[in-house]
Amino acid sequence: MAVFVGDSFAMGTLYGSDAMRAVFDDSAWFQAMLDVEAALARVQSRMGMIPADAGAAITAAARVENLDAAELAASVRNVGYPVVGVVNGLSRAAGDAGAWTHWGATTQDIMDSATVLQIRAGYDLIADDLRAIIAALAIQADAHRATVMAGRTHLQHALPVTFGLKCAIWLMPLLDHLTRIEQLRPRIERLQFGGAAGTLASLGADGPAVIAGLAAELCLAAPLAPWHVARDGMAEAVGVLGLICGSLAKIATDVILLAQTEIGELAEPYVAGRGQSSTMPQKRNPIASEYILAAARQVQALVPVMQGAMAQDHERATGPWQAEMLALPQAFVLTHGAVLHARAIAEGMVVDTGRMRQNLDLTGGLIVAEAVMMGLAPVLGREDAHHAVKHACDRALAERITLAAALAHEPEVTSRLDADAIARLTDPAAYLGSTQVFINQVLAVANRS
């Protein structure tokens, strides 16, 4: 097994995605650093700070294949950071123009800006798949807006709901997460460029102009000031991943509970061999949901690491910054793995409407006791209505009869309601409140996302 299971050639398919690993692997990271160095050279060439042809030459050389992996690894082990090796390799590949690489920059400028480019790409992947989940759940919410099922509180039957409403409730936080992603981009997708101590003294009066030009070149926001030790954006990037995983974990938890043999109302998409047991041929375990829960626990455990790393000393940190590198790539890989599992569930879930109805009827109508009480309250008063319905519920349980049959034995009820009225009050489909309004409101926003 790999040290980080998300990188395992076998288990990595369950804990992450090839696409997200490609965003955060070594090649991508070093290429991102080279991209920042090349953009810096182009901007400074245009500004006349370095020779006019140096920017183009450095850009042409800024390819990860121009770096010697063994040399780079040796440099990192010795220096403690990768940028010295990156600059040495880039400078050599750029020939005479190489003398002008990394002009006025510091190691953390390059590494932070490269990480920001990776975060942008990572969030692009996550947002695209969240939209796919939203679209799939919206279809289910609309298709099952009238599919009545037992609503459960404290794992017990509570009141009737519809499966469409359940899907809409699953969907709703994902809409907020898309909004969060768009709102956090200006705070996170910001250039880092401040020189040795965040003053850009090496560039004299040209520092702010270089920041503006480099930010535009990389399509990033220009910060008000360098943020070497202001790490709220990095912490927020992983914090939102924790929120996303939390919402997916809620879906996974419901799927696992609804897939229990005794419930059997919902199942993950069936694929031959998926979730099978090595000893029990009949098993179809909710494996995607299980890995969503596992990923959520780990991502949420990484959130405090990022928040703890905000306590950085003076103008450059001694340790907290390095801790971010342990947490951030893992959080993105695990989150995307969870998102892909959730997408597979949303797009292929197997809904057993017959079993939903069967389970709804398990209590013989007791699930609508509140409906009867509220129907009687205007004529009996709330307290007397509650007492009468409670007495009928006790009788239904003791005698194993339906609530409607028990109500027929209550004089306070039969003196005011005939059999048809009792039947209407005990119909679960007639006690769904504002379900359709809520579904419509969620779908209206989903359809715009």
Alpha helices by DSSP H, 103-195: 107-143, 163-188
Rounded-to-integer distance, Cα 52 and Cα 54, Å: 6
Torsion of CA 161, 162, 167, 169, to 10 degrees: -30
Contact status, residue 347 vs residue 377, Cβ threshold 8 Å: no
Q: Which residue has the tokens 């050389």?
A: 61
CA quadruple 259, 264, 266, 268: dihedral sign: positive
Q: Which residue has the tokens 């309250």?
A: 377
Give residue 280's pLDDT. Answer: 47
What residue type is assigned to position 141 of the chain?
Answer: A
Instruction: List active site positions.
Output: 277, 316
Question: 366-425: CATH homologous superfamily?
Answer: Fumarase/aspartase (C-terminal domain) (1.10.40.30)
Tell which residue, 69, 81, 68, 133, has the closest CA to residue 107. Answer: 81
Q: Which residues contact 198 (CB under 8 A, 6 or more apart)?
A: 225, 226, 228, 229, 315
CATH code of the domain occupying 17-105: 1.10.275.10
Contact status, residue 107 vs residue 83, Cβ threshold 8 Å: yes
Is 3.40.190.150 the CATH number for 106-190+227-352+434-449? no
**Whole-number Cα distances in Å, 425 to 417, 428, 440:** 10, 8, 25
Tell which residue, 96, 106, 102, has the closest CA to residue 34. Answer: 102
Q: What is the pLDDT along the chain (449 residues), one digit of tens a residue?
A: 677 787 888 788 888 999 999 999 999 999 999 999 999 999 999 999 999 999 999 999 999 999 999 999 999 999 988 999 999 999 999 999 999 999 999 999 999 999 999 999 999 999 999 999 999 999 999 999 999 999 999 999 999 999 999 999 999 999 999 999 999 999 999 999 999 999 999 999 999 999 999 999 999 999 999 999 999 999 999 999 999 999 999 999 999 999 999 999 999 997 765 555 545 455 578 899 999 999 999 999 999 999 999 999 999 889 899 999 999 999 999 999 999 999 999 999 999 999 999 999 999 888 998 888 888 888 888 888 888 889 888 998 999 999 888 888 888 888 887 888 888 888 999 999 999 999 999 999 999 98
List, as own/partner pairs, every contact residues 93-99 make where C-beta atoms lie below 8 angstroms and the sequence separation is at least 24, other chains included: 93/61, 93/62, 93/63, 93/66, 94/54, 94/57, 94/58, 94/60, 94/61, 94/62, 95/57, 95/61, 96/57, 97/41, 97/51, 97/53, 97/54, 97/57, 97/58, 97/61, 98/57, 98/58, 98/61
What residue type is assigned to position 97 of the chain?
Answer: A
Contact status, residue 15 vs residue 337, Cβ threshold 8 Å: yes
Rounded-to-integer distance, Cα 201 and Cα 263, Å: 68
Joined tokens for residue 141: 């919410």
Domain boundaries, the chain: 17-105, 106-190+227-352+434-449, 366-425
**pTM for the whole thing?**
0.93
Alpha helices by DSSP H, 144-276: 163-188, 207-217, 232-258
Tell which residue, 137, 123, 131, 147, has the closest CA to residue 169. Answer: 137
